[in-house]
Structure 1
């Protein structure tokens, strides 16, 4: 799990660098499946229940929008900012995110299973029951956010960092990791999958906190 010297050799994530052009306010009504949205700002809109499956959002900003039950499966977000979005049950399964900033989101039960995230920063906010099963995360930074019962089951994580964030009841079952830095997590509560942390880096204090789960995984009884 943690090899001598690994902390010095862990590769840092390449951070997203989003530079949006001057944007035009979206005034087109409801989203459309396979829609093509370029250089637009979606601000203070109720997008709940709308169907934008397969749509492409390039050089776009989505700010303070409601996304409850929105259908965005296999949507593509390229060079985009999602700020202050909120909602329950948003379907982003199989979606692609490249060079994206997700800032101060308040989401619950968001479906990102099978999604692909590359050069993504998740900063601030709180996400409950995040489903990232079988997703692929590369150069992703979770920063100053709260993740409640996130499910990474079967996902692939490469150069992923957790900085100042809280992971509560995380499921890492079957995860494959490379250069995953957990040292900056202020809370690291792993409910399942502690045996899948090979390729991750943790701090000595986190190792102490995880010792009971590690002992149980190894079948070791600790008797005073």
Structure 2
């Protein structure tokens, strides 16, 4: 994955864009930089081999949108709807999502690095081959989601909701800490290390209805 814009395989083809984003448009080889959008309607918008850098989106809608071979750095999404969007072969770096709805979306071969997720709703999403590297996930809802091939190297997971989630080949061993608020039974499809097992033992016991007393 590329750490700087110039390393992108399509960097030379990128054209700066300073217009308004519109719904149901395809933006190919676009570079959108240093902009702030308030309540943009980008439903059905598609970004292909494009770079989005240092953006802020407030209360926007990218429902049914698509991000393919895109590169996002320093992108801040607040109260934005990404429901039923599709993401493939995309990298997000130093970005922050707060109060984002991304219900029933699909993601495949995505890398999140040094990103923060606060109260993000991934309900009913399908996530495959996703890397969370040095990320913070707080109050994130994965209820009823399908999670396959996820890793969390160096990441902190706090108050996750996993109710009725379906996990397969989810590797949590690299996470700095794990705190599951609900849906402990969904962890049957995950791999953890011995230290994490000890940290999660009280939550496992509570989920199983086991009372632990030392007196």
Aligned residues: 209
Measured after TM superposition, the shift of residue 86 of structure 1 is 1.1
User: Which of 3, 18, 26 is residue 36 of structure 1 equivalent to?
Assistant: 26
Match of 2:42 in 1: 52
| 1:119 equivalenced with 2:95 (yes/no) | no
Query: Quick check: 2:162–2:180 contact (8 Å CA) kept in 1?
Result: yes
| 1:24 equivalenced with 2:18 (yes/no) | no
User: Which of 197, 202, 206 is residue 207 of structure 1 equivalent to?
Assistant: 197
Q: For 1:109 and 1:32, how far apart are their aligned partners in 2? A: 22
Q: For 1:135 and 1:191, how far apart are their aligned partners in 2? A: 19
Measured after TM superposition, the shift of residue 40 of structure 1 is 0.4
Please give the root-mean-square deviation of Cα atoms over the aligned residues, in Å. Answer: 1.5
Question: 1:58–1:161: structure 2 CA closer, same or farther, 3 Å change rule?
Answer: same
- The superposition leaves residues 54-112 of structure 1 with CA deviations (integer Å, 9 ceiling, x where unpaired) of 01100001100111111111100000011101131011111100000011112201111
Query: Quick check: 1:19–1:79 contact (8 Å CA) kept in 2?
Result: no
Q: How does 1:51-130 map to 2 (within 5 A)?
A: 51-130=41-120
Measured after TM superposition, the shift of residue 194 of structure 1 is 0.8
Normalising by structure 2, report the TM-score.
0.94
Q: For 1:210 and 1:55, how far apart are their aligned partners in 2? A: 41
Measured after TM superposition, the shift of residue 20 of structure 1 is 3.0
Match of 1:7 in 2: none
| 1:153 equivalenced with 2:143 (yes/no) | yes
Q: Give unpaired runs (5+ residues) of structure 2.
A: 3-7
- The superposition leaves residues 114-147 of structure 1 with CA deviations (integer Å, 9 ceiling, x where unpaired) of 1100000010031201110000000000010111
Measured after TM superposition, the shift of residue 21 of structure 1 is 3.6
Higher RCO (C-alpha 8 Å, min separation 6): 1
Q: Give unpaired runs (5+ residues) of structure 1.
A: 1-14
